[in-house]
Structure 1
Amino acid sequence: MPNSAIQTKQMSIETKKNWWKNAVGYQIYPRSFKDSNHDGIGDLNGIREKLPYLKELGIDFVWINPIYASPNVDNGYDISDYQAIHEDFGTMEDFQALLNEAHNLNLKIIMDLIVNHTSDQHPWFLESKKSLDNPYRDYYHWADATREVPPNDWQSFFGGSTWTYNETTEQSYFHVFAKEQPDLNWKNPKVRHEIYQMIRWWLDLGIDGFRIDAISHIQKEPWDFKITENQWAPFMNVAGIELYLEELKAIFNEYNVMTVGEASGVPHQEATDWTGENGYFNMIFELEHCERIGTVGQQKGSIPHLKHSLNQWQTSLEADGWNALYLENHDTPRSVSVYGDDTPEAAKALATILLLLKGTPFIYQGQEVGMTNYPFSSIEEINAADTIHFYQTLLDQGMIDTEALAIAVNWSRDHSRTPFQWENTLHGGFSTVEPWLRVNDNYPMINAAQKDLESSSIFHYYQTLIRLRKQTDALIDGTFELLLPEHPTVFCYTRTTETERWLILVQLGREETTVSFPDSWDYAKWVEIISNSETKSLHSKLCLSNYEAHVYREIIG
């Protein structure tokens, strides 16, 4: 076989192996996506019904938030049976039908994998808490304690102690999240064996990968560890975790699947340990860029911090590793409200930034039609337990109702969990009955059906960007360089290969501003490829306003 043919074959194999580098993902929060059986709750058959819509958008894989059997204390992240479907969402047969139809459309399905903890209703824990010598006792973390004095003073992510006392055995069990989510003991080889069997079961079923939740917390420090600065240090990226991650990696490597680790507490300097040629996962979600600024209760996202943080992650993983890119998800408010002003121009500007960075972009449901934050006017409209708890805490501290509500809901996860706005009909076309969470009142103007009415819709802009990204090597593998790093509202960067250079220029605000580029550039060689506003030729000085986004290409040589 000629060398050129061998190289082509090798490239084809590598592309198939690393299919996720060329892919665009779409995250679905199933409870809020589409209700097919008229009970006010989204379900698997609702997702299946809308697969043609996702195919039309141009995405390649769908990440589905937890659909396992669960008491739903933490919206499905408290699992009582890893190999059963929650009745709200359907049956295992419904899931298999969804998987088959997705594959027929050449769409891949990514599941959430939650193995830091289970529900306290999981059979393992129900056995574990029965007695000190129960065979499942060591599946979880137990320590001597009294009702009044826990084993240590560590605090959980959800507030309060990481320990809950059990009267029957007169010991406390450990949980980094809610008390209904006891942490699994990864030091126990039997636990790991059970987990690995479950993982293989899902992979053998034919799913295409996992987003691995809270994985950086599975290793804990000794219980006498003293906290100095970081209160989460005892259970965040603790030394020794690499032994377990290597075991997971070995399983994933047996299958051609995509893995995304939620790597809370992993700084960009250590990112290549987690992703890359020798990393544990194909890519990781970082949480560093989500900084808030402004008056409490009216906080927005910090654009300078967004630029700075994304630049650090882009450059840290430039030579080895891969970014999982996102601006919003099920745990954050809507990006068009956080970084913009709820307008189509702002939605398109943010899409331009997200989809042309180096990495695999994740679009969160409704982002592609410009869904916005919900104007909550009462705590009764809220479902998120952490928001309700925060609100009550503020009231207990003496704050008046309106101030407590404004502060509590400002960054509530429920902003992104309101039902998907499909069309200008009752309940936004999500359901024929009252949904589990109210639909935003702006659904008559902001909905997916607008794509068929407006050629300039946000949906069509996303389509164009996705096609452009997939057709352009420079926008997949090209190097990244941040320009105008100190500008407070302009996000500008280049993507470059040996043959071409792309300039992505976005103003994240309505105020008028002038930006300057090097006089040495040959501006006659730059061609504008896409814009969300009127066409502008590139010059050494450009005036921008109104969430303008411009993408230019220069052929090198």
Structure 2
Amino acid sequence: MRMTYTSDLWWKNAVVYCLDVETFKDGNGDGIGDFRGLTQEIDYLAGLGITCLWLMPFYPTPNKDDGYDVTDFYSVDPRLGTLGDFVEFMRTAHDRGLRVIADLVVNHTSDQHPWFVESRSGRDSPRRDWYVWSDTPEPNPKEVVFPDKEDSVWEHDPHTGQYYLHTFYRHQPDLNVANPEVRDEIARVLGFWMELGLSGFRVDAVPFLIENVSPELADPHDFLAELRAFMTRRKGGSVLLGEVNLEYDQLLEYFGDGLGDQLTMCFDFVAMQRAWLSLARRDAGPLASALRERPEPPKDCQWAMFLRNHDELTLDKLTEDERQEIFAAFGPDKDMQIFGRGLRRRLPPMFGGDERRIKMAYSLLFSLPGTPVLFYGEEIGLGEDLSAEGRMAVRTPMRWSAEGGFTQAERPVRAMPDGPNVADHRRDNDSLLRWIQLLIERYRESLELAWGDHTVLDAGDPAVLAHRCDADGATIVAVHNLDDRECEAELDLTGLERCVLTDLLVDGTVKVPGSGRVRLPLDPYGCRWLRVSAPEVSPEDASVKAQ
């Protein structure tokens, strides 16, 4: 594969870091994270090596769903600061070379949003059709999204006598994106924040966003194409990162069915879930099969890779037996599980604090084909709070020092778990923080990982995942041992005979024999990134060539 590097494709080898302003750093001492506090830590983020910040919702909200219930798409939650604070944060981020994207939550609003207040004021309201209303509750989908809180997606409104649709919580009525006025308003929201410096958006729950568009009226995917075209006109290189938890054959159409004119990137939920099955079994098979099955996205699109995010660790694409395997390995207690389909735990506690396994898992993440996405605090092994409700268990305050360091207030906005902190990790050259910095540095240096053609290799041992990435005549081979035993990978590197493999994570080299088959020893949970160099030329060969 030939790599074509342009600034408009910056996201191809970006490192995305998701954070919640509310829980990252308190800058005014009221116990709540804010833009002032986040701005104070821009140098920390730049030093970590990440290139793009993804902000969870920071808009005004009643906060019944951690900010995903929005009452004003054109402002900042007063608890988090002002528009002026946001602009200063953007200026500082750009000064350090960081791009910023933000959550686009437009499949619904809060029921306190002025649009919905007007919509429910009467059946003849000018904004009545901005939401989805029905005289009778229509059949529910096969599965309610939050079965612990809701048993229907329709809520009766006694004032008008009709039912409104809410795919998620009843206090989050769905917007009717089939309405051209709603689509125009969403475009204005995008344009507003792009003018303030955003490089794009992470689009929340994309399939739910477009499902209300009737195919008889229009192609539901036209809406995504319209948004992509609007953003490209406003700012070349802007991105739409989509949350699309579907099987590969359904997911491809969200890129634009070969055209690449809809979502720029999609999270790979299939590979993520298979990765956890492989980690639970200590068998690379499930992940290897996902990578072999995964289709190539269109040229100007990319997969986004992750192991954990801000929601539950959903396992809905696995069988019930497979889910139970992962529950048994990483979340055996009922309070660690959620919705019967996932876990509400952060990655380091799931591995029992085994630093070898944790480091291997993040090495795996950064080596897989796609753009890596980290959740804030992963770089220090930030813990969870299982006493918090639901998915809030993983949305804990960032821990900056042994004393906490998140706030000077006596009570932070959320309970802060004891455990690792930034200050201690900075003083330890062998810490997880330093390891993540190294992985990011090597990933950014190794364009083959992001831009190249990827091939899963037979490693000769079920515990080992091996793959190679080729681009412009350059090659990197990545090998990971998912088990706690020493093993040896035997790889067929035909075509690379007598080449030299240079370790990128530790010092050392390996020469590929003339047979093309190389043996690579691996420690328990060992990981190796190997760059291929040209074959060594002996003095005799050089003499013959010169003649």
> How far did 1:24 drift?
1.4
State how far apart, in whole Å, the 2-side matches of 1:440 and 1:263 are. Answer: 31
Shift in Å at residue 517 of structure 1? 1.9
**Relative to 1, partners in 2 of residues 1:294 and 1:86: Cα closer, same or farther, differing over 3 Å?**
closer
Tell me, in whole angstroms, the C-alpha distance in 1 between the residues paired with 2:131 and 2:281: 39
SS at match of 2:372: strand
- Deviation of the 1:311 alpha carbon: 4.4
Give SS of 1:134's match: coil
The Cα of 1:493 is off from its aligned counterpart by 1.3
Q: Deviation at 1:439?
A: 2.0
Tell whether 2:140 aligns with 1:153. Answer: yes
* Structure 2 CA distance for aligned equivalents of residues 106 and 506 of structure 1: 32
Residues 158 and 218 of structure 1: CA distance in aligned 2, closer, same or farther (over 3 Å) = same
The root-mean-square deviation of aligned C-alpha atoms, in Å, is 3.1
CA pair 33-300 structure 1, distance change in 2 beyond 3 A:
farther
Superposed, 1:53-64 pairs within 5 Å as 53-64=44-55
Instruction: Please give the secondary structure, in 1, of the residue aligned with 2:54.
Output: strand
Q: In the alignment, what sits opposite 1:390? A: none
**Aligned partners of 2:441, 2:254: CA distance in 1, in Å?**
32
Asked whether the 8 Å contact 1:219–1:239 carries over to 2, the reply is: no
Q: Is the 8 A contact 1:499 1:555 kept in 2?
A: no
1:246-325 to 2 correspondence within 5 Å? Answer: 246-254=225-233, 255-256=235-236, 257-265=238-246, 267-268=248-249, 270-271=251-252, 273-274=254-255, 277-291=259-273, 304-313=285-294, 315-317=295-297, 321-325=301-305
Q: Partner of 1:503: helix, strand, or coil?
A: strand
Task: Determine if the alignment matches structure 1 residue 65 to structure 2 residue 56.
Answer: yes
Alignment pair present for 1:348 and 2:348: no
Structure 1 residue 156, shift from structure 2 partner: 2.9
Q: Is residue 2:77 matched to residue 1:98?
A: no
Q: Name the aligned partner's letter for residue 173 of structure 1.
A: Y
Q: What code does the residue aligned with 1:263 have?
A: V
CA distance in 2, matches of 1:544, 1:69: 51
**Which residue among 412, 417, 422 is the counterpart of 1:440?**
417
Distance 2:17 2:29 in 1: 24
Residue 436 to residue 309, structure 1, CA distance change in 2 (3 Å): farther
Q: Does the 8 A contact of 1:108 with 1:207 survive in 2?
A: yes
Q: Is residue 326 of structure 1 aligned with residue 306 of structure 2?
A: yes
Of the candidates 11, 31, 52, which is equivalent to residue 40 of structure 1?
Answer: 31
Counterpart check, 1:243 vs 2:217: no
Trace 1:445-524 onto structure 2 (pairs within 5 A): 446-484=420-458, 488-518=462-492
Q: TM-score, normalised by structure 2?
A: 0.81
The C-alpha deviation readout for 1:495-550, integer Å capped at 9, x for no partner, is 11243321111122313334322385767533332337x96847744443432111
Please name the residue that 2:347 is paired with: 335
Cα pair 2:503 2:509 within 8 Å, conserved: no
Rounded Cα–Cα distance in structure 2 between residues aligned with 1:239 and 1:270: 19
Q: Which amino acid aligns with 1:436?
A: V
- Which residue, 104, 109, 124 being the options, matches 2:115? 124
Identity of aligned residues (%): 30
Which amino acid in structure 1 is aligned with residue 528 of structure 2?
H
Report the Cα distance in structure 2 between the residues aligned to 1:300 and 1:51, rounded to whole angstroms. 39
Mean Cα displacement is larger for which, 94-103 or 464-473? Answer: 464-473
Change (3 A) 1:91 1:301: farther
C-alpha distance in structure 2 between counterparts of 1:335 and 1:308, whole Å: 23
- Letter of the 2:429 counterpart: S
Whether the 8 Å contact between 1:166 and 1:173 is mirrored in structure 2 is yes
Q: CA deviation at 1:324?
A: 1.2
What is the CA-CA distance between 1:269 and the residue it aligns to? 5.9
Aligned to 2:514: none
Matched, 1:529 2:503: yes
Q: Distance in 1 between matches of 2:18 and 2:303?
A: 16
CA distance in 1, matches of 2:135, 2:35: 43
Change beyond 3 A, Cα 1:201–1:108: same
Provide structure 2 residue ranges, at least 5 long, that are not aligned to the other structure: 314-344, 512-516, 536-547
Q: Is the CA contact 2:499–2:533 (under 8 Å) kept in the aligned structure 1?
A: yes
Provide the C-alpha distance between the structure 2 equivalents of 1:473 and 1:109, rounded to a whole number of angstroms. Answer: 22
Identify the residue that residue 333 of structure 2 maps to in structure 1.
none
Aligned counterpart in structure 1 of residue 67 of structure 2, from 76, 80, 85 = 76
Change (3 A) 1:460 1:488: same
Distance 1:499 1:291, change over 3 A: closer
- Superposed displacement of residue 198, structure 1: 1.6
| More displaced 10-residue stretch of structure 1: 171-180 or 488-497 | 488-497
SS where residue 56 of structure 1 aligns? helix
Deviation at residue 62 of structure 1 after TM alignment:
0.5
Contact 1:344 1:370 in 2 (8 A): no
CA contact (8 A) 2:291 2:456 kept: no
For the structure 1 residues 462 and 189, does the alpha-carbon distance in structure 2 shift closer, same or farther, using more than 3 Å as the test?
Answer: same
SS at match of 2:382: coil
| Matched position secondary structure for 2:163 | strand
How many residues of Structure 1 are paired with residues of Structure 2 in the alignment?
A: 487
| Distance in 2 between residues matched to 1:104 and 1:293, nearest whole Å | 36
Distance 1:205 1:450 in 2: 36
SS of corresponding position for 2:69:
coil
Distance 1:46 1:206 in 2: 19
2:358 equivalent to 1:370: no
Does structure 2 conserve the Cα–Cα contact (< 8 Å) formed by 1:324 and 1:359? yes
> Offset of 1:429 from its aligned partner?
4.4
Q: For the residues of structure 1 that align with 2:12 and 2:157, how far apart are their CA atoms?
A: 47
Q: CA deviation at 1:416?
A: 2.4
Change (3 A) 1:447 1:300: farther
Structure 1 residues 108 and 247: CA distance shift in structure 2, 3 A: same
Q: Identify if the C-alpha distance between structure 1 residues 173 and 55 changes in structure 2 by more than 3 Å, giving closer, same or farther.
A: same
Tell me the CA shift for residue 271 of structure 1.
2.0
Q: Which residue of 2 aligns with 1:407?
A: none
1:465/1:72 CA distance change after superposition, 3 Å: same
Mapped to 2, the partners of 1:74 and 1:119 lie a distance apart of 9
Question: Under a length normalisation based on structure 1, what TM-score does the superposition of the two structures give?
Answer: 0.79
How has the CA–CA distance of structure 1 residues 278 and 484 changed in structure 2, closer, same or farther, with 3 Å as cutoff?
Answer: same
Structure 1: which 5+ residue stretches go unaligned? Answer: 1-9, 224-233, 388-412
Distance 1:15 1:529 in 2: 28
Going from structure 1 to structure 2, the CA distance change for 1:105 and 1:486 (only over 3 Å counts) comes to same
Give the 5 Å matches for 1:118-197: 118-145=109-136, 150-154=137-141, 155-159=143-147, 160-197=151-188
Residue identity opposite 1:470 in structure 2? R
> How far, CA to CA, are the matches of 2:447 and 2:434 in structure 1?
22
C-alpha separation in 2, matches of 1:194 and 1:449: 44
Classify 1:505/1:372 alpha carbon distance in 2 versus 1 (closer, same or farther; 3 Å).
farther
Q: Is the 8 A contact 1:209 1:259 kept in 2?
A: yes
SS at 1:324 equivalent: strand
Give the 3-state SS of the residue equivalent to 2:532 in structure 1: strand
Partner amino acid for 1:477? W
* Cα deviation 1:447-471 (Å, max 9, x = unaligned): 2123431222222222222222222
